[in-house]
Chains A and B, each alone.
Chain A
Amino acid sequence: MPSVREIRGRIKSVKNTARVTSAMQMVAASKMRRAQDQVVRSRPYAQKLRAILAGLAAQGGGDGEYTHPLLQSRSVKNVLLLEITPDRGLAGGLPSNLNRAAAGFMQQQHAPVSVVTVGRKGKEFMARTGQNIQASLPGLGDQPSLGDCLPITALVAQLYTDGTVDEVHVAYTRFINTLIQEPVVAQLLPIKAGELEEPGVPVDYEYEPDPETVLNTLLPRFLDTQVYQAVLESSASEQSARMVAMRNATDAADEMVDGLTLELNKARQAMITAELLDLVGGVAALEG
């Protein structure tokens, strides 16, 4: 049985840990609220853009009549995976779940896959497993703006248009709610305008200046938005996962303190009993 002193020491250290994790929980909670707000605020734009693109596709804007490089599918010789991961750990199973999903995706591909990582966790994983890394970008911090995401999009679009890769997929963690985040791998390029979730309502539009110009301006923006959305979803997921992980750690620490306190009391009791026995024994010996 550990001594009373030892147990006191351990209680103290566990309490300190709990203090740290509960502070981190609080920080993550406030960042989480902001990140969740940001995701929700950015969704209308993405939805509207999708609806417009779907409308264009339904009108035949997407099928050969006005071909744009970002719409053309080619025979797939090289695949690029853009993985958006957190920079920091202590976010529960989030990074490893995402990495596992990314690895699973890469195994299913018939063509060689190279990767572009955003954030430290993805970079470390890809380097460790010996993947072909095209580029590693640092994470975007807690409040990524659309402008922050443009270099990523530019890089990816560049690799796609110059023919280095023929397909681009993005792996990120979709934010569902505070407790649930799900790793997803989705195709980014070529843009499959015909397969957008909302069925395009065919409206007889007049296009100004003309459909081609509209499509040409729309597609790059669509790509920007897709990447931006993925980054925001990832960021909200990360903060939520961290908040939950830290809450669990705090709860576990509190439980441990309870257990240790019980043990401490038992040990103290045992010590007192032993001392009493000694005393009684001593007195008995003297009287005898």
Chain B
Amino acid sequence: MPMRLEIVTAERIIFEGEVDVVVAPGGDGELGVLPHHAAVMTTLSSGDLHYRIGGKDNHYIVHGGFMDVRGDQVVVLADAAEHIDEIDETRAEQAIMRAQERIAAAGVDVDLDRAMASLRRAQVRLNITRRRRKQGVV
């Protein structure tokens, strides 16, 4: 019996459809949701969010946000989300370099928090993508 999953960002709907399992990077660690899960409202950290439908896995990278599980309805409100196929490894590497440069130059008119956040985002992106591609999942 499938559940309904929606992944939404402020700018658009990323995914909408029936799924069997959802695994999300909750604020308190990884959280798996099967049908008939108790109602949960959790914050999300940066990481790999995947769902399975008919034995097939689909991976997304999400960065922060919430997940609302209620009945057989799972709503992910992500600050940012992208399908793993959309991620370009070279661009992620460049983003890491840029962020590191910015952090190194900290103090002179640089927003350290933002630089750290973008560094973390880029690293998460790259790590997960590499791992998944190595496993041949994607």
* A pairs with B: yes
A residues apposed to B, CB below 8 Å? 38, 41-42, 44-46, 48-49, 52, 55-56, 145-146, 203-209, 213-214, 217-218, 221, 224-225, 228
Residues of A within 8 A of B27 (CB): 208-209, 213
Contact A49 B77 (CB under 8 A): yes
> Do B42 and A208 have beta carbons less than 8 Å apart?
yes
Give min CB distance, A200 to chain B, whole Å. 12
**Other-chain residue from A45, A55, A217 in contact with B9 (beta carbon distance below 8 A):** A45
Q: Could you count the A-B residue pairs with CB atoms below 8 Å apart for me: how many are there? A: 73
Are the CB atoms of B43 and A208 closer together than 8 Å? yes
Q: Are B75 and A208 in contact (CB under 8 A)?
A: no
- Among residues of A, the one whose C-beta sits closest to the C-beta of B64 is A217
B38 within 8 A of A: yes
Binding site for A on B (CB under 8 A): 6, 8-13, 26-28, 31, 38-43, 64-66, 68, 70, 75, 77, 79
Contact A206 B40 (CB under 8 A): yes
| B39 A203 Cβ-Cβ under 8 A | yes
Are A208's CB and B66's CB within 8 A?
A: no
Whether the Cβ atoms of B13 and A208 lie closer than 8 Å is: no
| Alpha-carbon separation in the docked complex, A38 to B13 (Å) | 11
Residues of B within 8 A of A204 (CB): 39
- With a CB–CB cut-off of 8 A, which chain B residues contact A205? 39-41, 70
What residues of A have a CB within 8 angstroms of the CB of B66 in the complex? 52, 214, 217-218
- Assembled-state Cα–Cα distance A34/B70 (Å): 33
CB-nearest residue of chain A to B29:
A208
- Please give me the 8 A-B residue pairs with the lowest Cβ-Cβ distance, nearest first: A208-B42, A146-B10, A205-B41, A41-B12, A45-B8, A209-B28, A45-B10, A205-B39
- When distances are taken between beta carbons in the complex, the residues of chain B under 8 Å from A213 are 27, 43
**Closest residue on chain A to residue B76 by CB atoms:** A48
